[in-house]
Amino acid sequence: MILLVDLCYEKYSLSMYEFVFPIADIVKRAKVRYDIMHHSEVGLITAEKYDKIILCGTALKDGIYLENMDSFSWIKECTRPLLGICAGMQVIGSIFGGRIISQPSIGLQEIDIVKETSLLGKARQIEGYHLHNYGVTLPQGFEHLVGSSDQVEAFKHEERFIYGITFHPEVRNKWIVDRFVKLGYEHVEEIFNR
């Protein structure tokens, strides 16, 4: 079962329809069960009950999560695979020592995958949908996967199964969420042969 963490300003906000429910639809199509919880309800004990965790994005004007970074301290100790999308990547980066920086971007852009990984595949260029005001610097202990040297668009922890991506795969690259959901299951080979 997968935990989808809602980073929106309040529980059951309208932003869920844009940033959480599209992720839930991808997980549902993969035939994997999930729960949705607001970030204010999640701690280490709750997180460890799930197989994997996805920190969903939130609206451009919604920065409430930035004011509550202490509530995400459980991420450092969590042993579950974790994917942070947009605001979720900022949270992960900040918890591990990166700095949240101004980095506004809206719309489709060509992005460079600079390092091959099981989640993003081979190094190549893809088109990604951006909708964010902030980015995060690369924390110590993480590998830069996507973007230029001055704009980290995806990273991975060097030792743990923790990924962050600043663009929105639920809009343009649903296969990324699908691949994260399926990684570690027996039918993983068919995923990589597309």
Active site amino acids: 86, 168, 170
d(CA 53, CA 84): 8
**The dihedral sign for the CA sequence 17, 22, 28, 34:** negative
| Nearest one of 119, 154, 116, 110 to 135, comparing CA atoms | 154
Q: What angle do CA 167, 29, 162 make, to 5 degrees?
A: 45
The DSSP letter of residue 139 is: P
Torsion from C-alpha of 96, 36, 2, 5, nearest 10 degrees = -10
